[in-house]
Amino acid sequence: MFSKYKLDKIENNKFYINKIERDSLYQNVFKVITKPTFTDKVATDYAGFILIKLKDRHTTIMCEYESVGEWSNISAETEKIYEIINPKAKLPK
The answer to whether 63 touches 18, Cβ cutoff 8 Å, is no
Task: Check residue 61 and give its pLDDT.
Answer: 92
> How much is the average pLDDT of 46-51?
70
Statement: residue 92 has pLDDT above 70: no
The answer to whether 68 touches 36, Cβ cutoff 8 Å, is no
**Among the residues of the chain, which ranges form H helices?**
19-34, 76-89
Task: Check residue 59 and give its pLDDT.
Answer: 93
* Residue with more model confidence, 13 or 81: 81
Instruction: Tell me the whole-structure pTM to 2 decimals.
Output: 0.74
Task: Check residue 48 and give its pLDDT.
Answer: 67
Question: Both ends of the chain: CA-CA distance in Å?
Answer: 28
Statement: residue 8 has pLDDT above 90: no
